[in-house]
DNA sequence: GTCTATACTAGGATAGAC
DNA sequence: GTCTATCCTAGTATAGAC
């Protein structure tokens, strides 16, 4: 009797790959390691993702989706308060960065591993940061900032700074001052 | 006739390794690639650096030395003006981040590639960030900030944010607003 | 037909012997 | 400075279980 095709295979592969990539970085994790942890055959992985690059791009899309979920939740919690949303975005990222074992923004980390500008993985990373930038700008405009471009970029600096500093120094680093800084930045921009 | 032992060998190796590590990341650069570019034998490299990890640690020490040179130059340019030095540090990093081909802080990038906390490379990275943090705190104290810890951490966030954002988006990113933000932050803290 | 498991190629890695 | 040993990688092909 033939098995039914497993519709969840792609999701299961991505879940394992995400966990390993997040923990160790992309280049240090081999496909064999993913296969071993999945307990599946090599063919299954290669059916869903023809190359490792494809798997990495799918991983990045998943990271991007996670980010979108966060900002949408914040948007629902503070409807009609774009200025508050800008501050809350910083607060949520800072909270993540102070957790034990935080390794930084996975997209930044992946971007650091793929230097060639034309590489699809590098492009996927840049695409994510462009989306983040656009969203922050949109919030800054709706907050009626005098200079929304500058406000959005200042918040972007804080978010990126929390991710980088938290990856290096964790909770004993600079993340704890991020929310206060965002507060001052937003207040001064309105 | 036998060659004299080359006292500059270590420096030449480090120079090539630094260029390649900066451009492509640590894991993607093989020792063979470094050897090929040097035009030397494998023994020479192994005489100076027993393992790749040792070479990477030496590379990080070089990065740390480069950073020290920058802050010392700023210290000489603005003697007796610790507040101005904090702003100038941000300005110099932002200027670097807007250059063509900027790939981010090499220490952050290397740290992202070495996740294991006990790994000597990871330790070397954290050591660098601790030094940076201490230096910023020292400047904030000497600037007579009301809360020097918070001021130092706010500047650290901006510096790290410039490095991360610049690596992703370059000159079209958020680096251009860094100096202005640092200016406001320092002014508000005094 | 779908999956697991294994064998295999080709290349690159670290490491070290001579 | 060359040459070798061993290991690990991505990716392909094949054999067999369900």
Quickly state the pLDDT bin for B38 (edges 50, 70, 90): confident
Find the residue closest to D8 using CA and C1' atoms: A30
Find the residue closest to D11 using CA and C1' atoms: A51
What is the rounded distance in angstroms from the CA atom of residue B41 to the CA atom of residue B44?
Answer: 6
The per-residue pLDDT for range B139-188, each reduced to its tens digit, is 999 999 999 999 999 999 999 999 999 999 999 999 999 999 999 999 99
Torsion sign, CA atoms A82, A84, A90, A91: negative
Strand C bases contacted by the protein (CB, 7 Å)? 1-7, 12-18
Give the per-residue pLDDT at B42: 85
Q: Is A113 in a helix, a strand, or coil?
A: helix
Asked if A37 and A20 count as a contact pair (C-beta separation under 8 A), the reply is: yes
State yes or no: pLDDT of A3 exceeds 60: no
State yes or no: pLDDT of A19 exceeds 60: yes
Give the per-residue pLDDT at A1: 41
Give the per-residue pLDDT at B1: 44
Give the per-residue pLDDT at A5: 63
Give the per-residue pLDDT at A175: 98
Rounded to an integer, the average pLDDT of A89-98 is: 98
Mean pLDDT of chain B: 94
Lowest pLDDT segment from A62-76, A92-106, B30-44, B66-80: B30-44
Quickly state the pLDDT bin for B7 (edges 50, 70, 90): low
Rounded to an integer, the average pLDDT of B28-32 is: 92
B30 touches strand C (CB under 7 A): yes
All domains of chain B, ordered by start, with CATH? 7-50 (1.10.10.60), 52-189 (1.10.357.10)
Give the per-residue pLDDT at B41: 81
Output the CA angle B46-B48-B53, nearest 5 degrees: 75
Rounded to an integer, the average pLDDT of A161-189 is: 98
Asked if A117 and A63 count as a contact pair (C-beta separation under 8 A), the reply is: no
State yes or no: pLDDT of A4 exceeds 70: no
For residue B178, CA distances in Å to A175, A185, B143, B151 come to 17, 12, 20, 15
Rounded to an integer, the average pLDDT of B72-94 is: 98
B92 touches strand C (CB under 7 A): no
Torsion sign, CA atoms A116, B114, B121, B5: negative
Rounded to an integer, the average pLDDT of A163-170 is: 97
DSSP B81-141: -HHHHHHHHHHHHHHHHTSTT----HHHHHHHH---TTSHHHHHHHHHHHHHHHHHHHHHH
The per-residue pLDDT for range B53-78, each reduced to its tens digit, is 999 999 999 999 999 999 999 999 99
B44 touches strand D (CB under 7 A): yes
What is the rounded distance in angstroms from the CA atom of residue A82 to the CA atom of residue A139?
Answer: 5
A33 touches strand D (CB under 7 A): yes
Lowest pLDDT segment from A42-56, A148-162, B40-54: B40-54
Is 0.85 surpassed by the pTM of this model?
yes
Radius of gyration of chain A measured on its C-alpha atoms: 19
CB contact under 8 A, B108 and A177: no
C-alpha A73, offset from chain centre: 15
Quickly state the pLDDT bin for A2 (edges 50, 70, 90): very low
- On chain A, the residues whose CB falls within 8 A of the CB of B180 are 150
State yes or no: pLDDT of B101 exceeds 60: yes
- On chain B, the residues whose CB falls within 8 A of the CB of A175 are 157
Lowest pLDDT segment from A36-50, A72-86, A123-137, B142-156: A36-50
Quickly state the pLDDT bin for B6 (edges 50, 70, 90): low
* Distance in Å, alpha carbon of B47 to nearest chain A alpha carbon: 27
CB contact under 8 A, A154 and B174: yes
CB contact under 8 A, B112 and A115: no
Find the residue closest to C12 using CA and C1' atoms: B30
State yes or no: pLDDT of A153 exceeds 70: yes
The per-residue pLDDT for range A106-140, each reduced to its tens digit, is 999 999 999 999 999 999 999 999 999 999 999 99
* Distance in Å, alpha carbon of A35 to nearest chain B alpha carbon: 21
Q: Which of A116, A157, A176 to mutate to test the interface with B (most CBs of B within 10 A)?
A: A157
Rounded to an integer, the average pLDDT of B108-118 is: 94
- Stated as kind and residue range, the H or E segment containing A154 is helix A148-169
Give the per-residue pLDDT at B112: 96
State yes or no: pLDDT of A8 exceeds 90: no
- Is pLDDT larger for residue B4 or for residue A98? A98
Give the per-residue pLDDT at B2: 42
For residue B59, CA distances in Å to A141, A165, B21 come to 44, 20, 8
Rounded to an integer, the average pLDDT of B99-118 is: 95
Among chain B residues, CA nearest to A102? B115
């Amino acid at each position: 009797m033939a098995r039914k095709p497993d519709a969840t295979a792609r999701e299961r592969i991505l879940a394992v790959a995400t966990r390993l990539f997040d923990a160790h970085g992309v280049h240090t994790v081999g496909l064999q390691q993913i296969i071993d942890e999945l307990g599946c055959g090599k063919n299954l992985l290669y059916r869903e993702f023809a190359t490792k690059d494809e798997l990495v791009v799918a991983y990045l899309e998943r990271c991007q989706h996670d980010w979108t979920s966060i900002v949408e939740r914040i948007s629902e919690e503070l409807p009609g308060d774009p200025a508050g949303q800008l501050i809350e975005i910083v607060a949520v990222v800072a909270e993540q960065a102070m957790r034990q074992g935080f390794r930084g923004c996975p997209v930044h980390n992946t971007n650091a591993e793929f230097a060639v500008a034309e590489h699809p993985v590098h492009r996927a990373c840049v695409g994510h940061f462009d989306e983040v930038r656009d969203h922050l700008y949109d919030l800054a405009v709706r907050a009626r900032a005098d200079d929304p471009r500058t406000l959005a970029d200042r918040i972007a600096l804080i978010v990126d700074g929390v991710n980088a500093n938290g990856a290096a120094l964790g909770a004993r680093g600079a993340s704890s001052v991020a929310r206060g800084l965002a507060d001052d930045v937003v207040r001064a921009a309105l």
